[in-house]
Amino acid sequence: MPASTAEKSTRAHLLSLPVIVAALGYFVDIYDLLLFGIVRVPSLKSLGLNEQQVSEVGVTILNWQMGGMLIGGIFWGVLGDKKGRLSVLFGSIITYSLANIACGFIQDTSLMPATELYKYLRFIAGIGLAGELGAGITLVSEVLPKELRAIGTSLVAGVGLFGAVAAYFTVEIFGDWRIAYLVGGGLGIGLLLLRVGVIESGMFKEVSSQKHVTKGDFFSFFTNWTRFVRYMKCIGIGLPTWFVISILATLSNELGKALGIIETVKPGLAIMWCYVGLAFGDLSSGFLSQYLASRKKAVALMMAFTLVFCLVYLFSGIDSANTLYALCLAMGFGIGYWAMFVTIGAEQFGTNLRATAATTVPNMVRGMVIFMTMIYGYFKPSVTPVYAAAIVGVICFTIGFYCTLTIAETHNKDLDFLEE
C-alpha cells in the first residue's frame, strides 16, 4: 500500500465515528466524575458545613460515589457483554446525566438533610459513570486494526481527560457549583444525539449469535485461578493512578497545610492540573507503547516517573501552592498510562468477557479509593497527613509495579478469541 494511502487509512480509522464519540463520551464522563472533587469544598460550605465537617463529609460522599462506580462497573460490564457495547454507552450516560442535573437542585428536605441527598445522588452518578470508559475502550479496541489500538485508545483518553479542565473552568466562569452540575448533565444529554450513528462492534455481533457461548459472566473471573490472577493483576496496575488523584490531588488542601504551605491550596485547581498532565500522558503513552512494542514497558516507565514526583511532592519540602500544582501536573503526566491500563484489561480477555473486564477493572480501581481514604484516615492522627499519604503510596506502588512486571504482554495481540 502506498505511503499516502496508508496515512489516509490510518487517519480514517483514528477519526472514525466510534473513536470520536468514545472520546467525547469520556470527556463528559470525566467532567462529571471530577466535578465533585472540584466543588467539594465550596458546595459543602454553601450547605452550612464547617471546615472539619467539609473534610469528613466530603470523604464520605467521595466514597459513596466510588462505591457506586464499583457496583456500576459490574452491572455495565456484564450488560456490555450480554447486550452489546452500545447499550452501555447509552444507558450509563442517561443515568449519570440525570443524577448530575439533580445535584444542581440539592437542598434540605423534610425527608433528609441536603448532605444525605448529595451522598445518594453521587452514588447514582457513580453507577452511571462506571460504564463509559470500559465500553468505549472495548468498542474502539474491537473496531480498530490491532496496530492502531494503542494510539486509538490513547486518543480517546487524551481528549476525554480534558473534561476535568472544562469542569474547573465552568465552576470558575459561572462561580456557582450548581450551574456546573447542570452544565454537566446537559452535555451528557446532548451527547446521546451523537451516539445514534455509532455501529456495534463486529466481534460482539459475531459472538452474540453464538448462543452456546457464555457471555458477561462476572463470576467467571473468580472460578478459574489463571483468569483470577490475570484479573487481579489488571486491577493492581491501576492503583497508583487513583492514589495520585484521590489522595495527593483531591486532599491537597490538607496535605498543603501539613507541608507548611502558607497559601490556601485549592483542591479543584490541583485536580485540574493533574488531569491536564494525565491527558498529555495518555496521548503520549499510546505512542510510547507503539515505539517500545510493549504495553508493559510503557506502563512501567510511566509508573516510575510518577513515583519520583510523588516522593518530591511529599518529602522535598515544597513551600508554595504553585509548586504543588506543578507537581500535580507532573504526576498527572506519569499516571497517563490510564488508557493503556484499561486497554491491557480489555486485551487480556476474550470477546465474551471483554466488556466485563474493561468496565469492571477501572471501576475496581476507583472503588479501591474507599480503602485508600480509610488507610489515610486511620494513620493521619498518629503520623501526620504526609506520612499517612506515604503509607498509602507505598502499598499502591508496590502492588502496581509487581502486577505490571508479571502480567502477560498484549501488544499486537489478536482479540478475536473467546474465554472458555
CATH assignment, 11-195+218-406: 1.20.1250.20
Q: What is the mean pLDDT of the chain?
A: 84
Structure-model confidence comparison of residues 25 and 404, the more confident one: 404
- Whether the Cβ atoms of residue 133 and residue 362 lie closer than 8 Å to each other: yes
Taking each continuous run of H as one helix and of E as one strand, the counts in the chain are: 18, 0
Quick: pLDDT tens for 124-174.
999 988 887 777 777 777 778 777 777 787 788 778 878 888 888 899 899
- What pLDDT score does 326 carry? 96
Q: Tell me how far apart the alpha carbons of residues 344 and 295 are, in angstroms, rounded to a whole number.
A: 7
Q: Say if residue 394's pLDDT is above 80.
A: yes
pLDDT category of residue 204 using cuts at 50, 70 and 90: very low
DSSP run (H or E) holding 371:
helix 369-406
Q: Say if residue 90's pLDDT is above 60.
A: yes
* Residues contacting 61, CB < 8 A, separation 6+: 36, 40, 115, 118, 119, 122
- What pLDDT score does 420 carry? 64
- Whether the Cβ atoms of residue 334 and residue 305 lie closer than 8 Å to each other: yes
pLDDT category of residue 201 using cuts at 50, 70 and 90: very low
Helix axes 321-334, 295-315, angle to 10 degrees: 160
Structure-model confidence comparison of residues 113 and 142, the more confident one: 113
- What pLDDT score does 32 carry? 87
Q: Say if residue 211's pLDDT is above 70.
A: no
Spell out a b/e string for 344-373, using b for 16 or more CB atoms within 10 Å of the CB, else e.
bbbbbbbbbbbbbbbbbbbbbbbbbbbebb
- What pLDDT score does 202 carry? 46
pLDDT category of residue 7 using cuts at 50, 70 and 90: low
% residues pLDDT > 90 (the chain) = 39
pLDDT category of residue 1 using cuts at 50, 70 and 90: very low
For the ranges 179-193, 208-222, 243-257, 270-284, which has the lowest average pLDDT?
208-222
Quick: pLDDT tens for 30-64.
888 888 888 888 999 999 888 888 888 988 998 89
> What is the pLDDT averaged over residues 355-362?
81
- Domain ranges for the chain: 11-195+218-406
Helix axes 149-160, 17-46, angle to 10 degrees: 30
Q: Say if residue 267's pLDDT is above 70.
A: yes
- Whether the Cβ atoms of residue 244 and residue 369 lie closer than 8 Å to each other: no
Range among 10-24, 79-93, 134-148, 242-256 rated most confident = 242-256
